[in-house]
Amino acid sequence: MIIDRELVVRVEHTAARLTALEVDSLAATTPSSGAHWQPLDGGVAAAMGPGRYVNRAVGAVFGDAEPAALLDAMEAFYEEAGLPASLEVSPWASQPLVAALSERGYVVEWFRNVYAHSLRSLPPRGRLEIEEVGDELEADWAAILGAGAAPGSAERRISDEFRAAAHRITGALNLVAMLDGKAIGTGSLTPVSTVAWLGGAATLPEARGRGAQHALLVERLHRARRMGCTLAAATAVPDGVSARNLTRVGFQLLYTQAVMTLPAA
């Protein structure tokens, strides 16, 4: 797979569209979140609310706006939302934008990798049974995704709210891996145009090392191709378990992305 500007823009812009879908769904399922977004130079500025997953601009570095105008618009949006201005920046961002970020005092908060997998050639499916999440499996799916946060905690509440919102996005597919009749792992797939975005990976601690995530990744690649997608994409923290799982099934690293934020004055 050739990594060029056209591919990067395709991935970034579908990521922005996915973010808008997630924000809209969260606003509908949890109105108290105040979740909202606005277009921003080909991408979106997203505000899910304090402490929630996406409070930054996505896919907004490939438009035609001058860096000063882009940052002015973004900063006004986040000031109104009561959140620090923040955006995802890839190595493909223009040098004038990078310079403008430096001049205004933006700092790198964290990094993550962006991966892609062509759907022309796919690995064989695994042996674990994979099932779609419906009413009967929704409680098991929710329990696996929320297993890392204490019941009743703010972290668990935020996880549950986002999970419920993501489950209701039109076209989204949520899957569980089954072992001996028990759900042990989860993974999601959301098609955006011809790009299938993968996420929602979690495995019960006692079931790790049984191949659940490998099976779920391969299954989603096959399903994505049947949906008419030609590319699968995902993000992961460098050198984390998810990153290793992605590369094992043939995902290619496109670039490392920095999340840059303007510190409070």
Checking if the pLDDT of 222 tops 90, the result is yes
pLDDT band at 231 (very low <50, low <70, confident <90, very high): very high
Checking if the pLDDT of 16 tops 90, the result is yes
Is there a single domain that holds both residue 95 and residue 178? Answer: no
Is there a single domain that holds both residue 134 and residue 230? Answer: yes
Q: List helix spans (H) across 56-194.
A: 67-81, 95-104, 138-145, 154-167
The H-or-E segment that residue 195 falls in is strand 195-203
Is there a single domain that holds both residue 223 and residue 159? Answer: yes
Is there a single domain that holds both residue 91 and residue 141? Answer: no
Checking if the pLDDT of 208 tops 90, the result is no
Average pLDDT over residues 209-236: 95
Domain that holds residue 81: 5-113+257-261
Is there a single domain that holds both residue 105 and residue 213? Answer: no
Total of domains in the chain: 2
Q: What is the CATH number of the domain that holds 197?
A: 3.40.630.30
From first CA to last CA, the distance across the chain in angstroms is 43
Considering the entire predicted model, what is its pTM? 0.93
Report how far residue 13's alpha carbon sits from residue 192's, in angstroms, rounded to the nearest whole number: 10
Checking if the pLDDT of 118 tops 90, the result is yes
Is there a single domain that holds both residue 64 and residue 9? Answer: yes
- Of the listed ranges 27-31, 70-74, 102-106, 238-242, the least confidently predicted one is 238-242
Report how far residue 71's alpha carbon sits from residue 60's, in angstroms, rounded to the nearest whole number: 10
Is there a single domain that holds both residue 84 and residue 133? Answer: no
Report how far residue 76's alpha carbon sits from residue 262's, in angstroms, rounded to the nearest whole number: 12
Checking if the pLDDT of 1 tops 90, the result is no
Is there a single domain that holds both residue 65 and residue 146? Answer: no
Is there a single domain that holds both residue 136 and residue 90? Answer: no
Report how far residue 113's alpha carbon sits from residue 126's, in angstroms, rounded to the nearest whole number: 25
Is there a single domain that holds both residue 97 and residue 214? Answer: no
Is there a single domain that holds both residue 227 and residue 128? Answer: yes
Task: Give the per-residue pLDDT at 61.
Answer: 87
By the 10 Å C-beta count (0-12 exposed, 13-18 middle, 19+ buried), 9 is classed as middle
Q: Kindly give the pairing relationship between strand 252-261 and strand 173-179.
A: unpaired
